[in-house]
């Protein structure tokens, strides 16, 4: 079985300091959390950025500062900016980080109800446009799927040439409006993948660690972090993203999976030589 790639989603766009005082907002806080996750065993940092007051932003200059600062402390880490941004952002706004030519970026593969009046909109034409602009820059897309139909859409667009392989999926399970994080749903998603693709799973809230175990034993990869879950145990806040990564490392060790380094993750995912960052 391949070594386990751990992704740390260190802040996201929704969690606030009212939820946990440990969520990073400032560049210094983001760099600290990225380094703690990296030192614990994360090969990939899934990156959102915030203004200092916690407001989510896709501002290219803010990403540039965060990326350069993280790379100073974690030289070989893979940084994966989000092109999801936050609900209500425009396509051009969401795509700003790819102008920095990262090695990876997320590509959301369907529209989703996020609760109340919030709708995370990703039309088929949006997905085609995002895929085109990401792949024009030779960036590896991580295909974020919140539902079985999102996988089906990816396969259809792949067959039509809009998305290029090898395909790497991310199951984001347990989101309000998407598929739950029950084992049944994880198995259904996994069995729906095309041959020769890779996948990672992000379980939201209480689903984070049960789905991590399911992915570890199934040959998949794992995402954890404050974007998805703020608890290390029921009712006990994690004090850093590093704590969440450390728990996955312990689980992997108990289940016989070695942890991939960033360079090993690049090989597993088919990522080419490390891109030159915009400095």
Q: What is the pLDDT along the chain (279 residues), one digit of tens a residue?
A: 899 999 999 999 999 999 999 999 999 999 999 999 999 999 999 999 999 999 999 999 999 999 999 999 999 999 999 999 989 899 999 999 999 999 999 999 999 998 888 999 999 999 999 999 999 999 999 999 999 999 999 999 999 999 999 999 999 999 989 999 999 999 999 999 999 999 999 999 999 999 999 999 999 999 999 999 999 999 999 999 999 999 999 999 999 999 999 999 999 999 963 334 333
User: Distance between CA 217 and CA 121 in Å, rounded?
Assistant: 33
- Torsion of the alpha carbons at 73, 77, 83 and 88, rounded to the nearest 10: -40
The CA R_g of the chain, rounded to the nearest whole Å, is 17
Q: Domain limits of the chain?
A: 6-269
Instruction: Look at residue 129 in the predicted model and tell me its pLDDT.
Output: 97
Q: Are 112 and 120 in contact (CB under 8 A)?
A: yes
Phi-psi region of 133 (alpha: psi -120 to 50; beta: other; left: phi over 0): alpha
Q: Give the span between the Cα atoms of 143 and 154, in whole angstroms.
A: 8
State the pLDDT at residue 208.
Answer: 98
Whether residue 151 has a cis bond before it, omega within 30° of 0: no
Beta strand 168-173 with 118-120 is unpaired
pLDDT, residue 279, reads 31
- The per-residue pLDDT for 273 is 37
**Residue 49: what pLDDT?**
98
Strand-pair category, 140-145 with 221-224: unpaired
- For residue 15, the model assigns a pLDDT of 97
Q: What is the pLDDT of residue 274?
A: 34
- Residue 114, pLDDT score: 86
CA–CA separation, 172 and 186 (whole Å): 10
DSSP H helical segments within 95-140, as ranges?
124-136
Decide: helix, strand or coil at residue 272.
coil
For 110, list phi and psi in degrees, rounded to 5. 175, 160
Q: Which pTM value belongs to this model?
A: 0.95
Instruction: Please tell me what DSSP assigns to residue 53.
Output: T
| Domain 6-269 CATH superfamily | Aldolase class I (3.20.20.70)
The reported pLDDT for the residue numbered 178 is: 94
Contacts 24+ apart (CB under 8 A), 123-130: 124/153, 124/157, 126/91, 127/153, 127/157, 127/162, 128/157, 128/162, 129/91, 130/83, 130/91, 130/94, 130/95
């Amino acid at each position: 079985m391949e070594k386990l790639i751990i992704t740390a989603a260190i802040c996201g766009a929704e969690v606030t300091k009212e939820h946990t005082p440990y969520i990073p907002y400032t560049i210094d806080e983001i760099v600290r959390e990225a380094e703690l996750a990296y030192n614990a065993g994360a090969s990939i940092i899934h990156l959102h950025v915030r203004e200092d007051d916690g407001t989510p932003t896709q501002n290219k200059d803010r990403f540039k500062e965060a990326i350069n600062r993280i790379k100073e402390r974690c030289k070989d880490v893979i940084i994966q900016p989000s092109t999801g941004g936050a609900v209500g952002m425009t396509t051009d706004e969401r795509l700003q980080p790819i102008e920095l030519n990262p090695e990876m970026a997320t590509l959301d593969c369907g529209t989703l109800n996020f609760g109340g009046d919030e709708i995370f909109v990703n039309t088929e034409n949006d997905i085609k446009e995002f895929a085109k602009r990401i792949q024009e820059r030779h960036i590896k897309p991580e295909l974020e799927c919140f539902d079985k139909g999102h996988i089906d859409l990816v396969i259809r667009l792949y067959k039509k040439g809009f998305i290029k392989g090898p395909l790497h999926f991310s199951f984001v399970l347990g989101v309000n409006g998407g598929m739950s994080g029950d084992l049944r749903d994880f198995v259904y998603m996994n069995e729906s993948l095309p041959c020769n693709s890779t996948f990672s799973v992000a379980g939201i809230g209480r689903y984070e660690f049960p789905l991590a175990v399911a992915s570890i034993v199934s040959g998949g990869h794992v995402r954890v972090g404050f974007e998805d879950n703020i608890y290390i145990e029921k009712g006990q806040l994690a004090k850093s993203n590093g704590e969440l990564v450390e728990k996955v490392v312990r689980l992997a060790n108990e289940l016989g999976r070695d942890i991939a380094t960033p360079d090993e993750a690049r090989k597993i995912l088919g990522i080419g030589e490390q891109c030159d960052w915009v400095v």
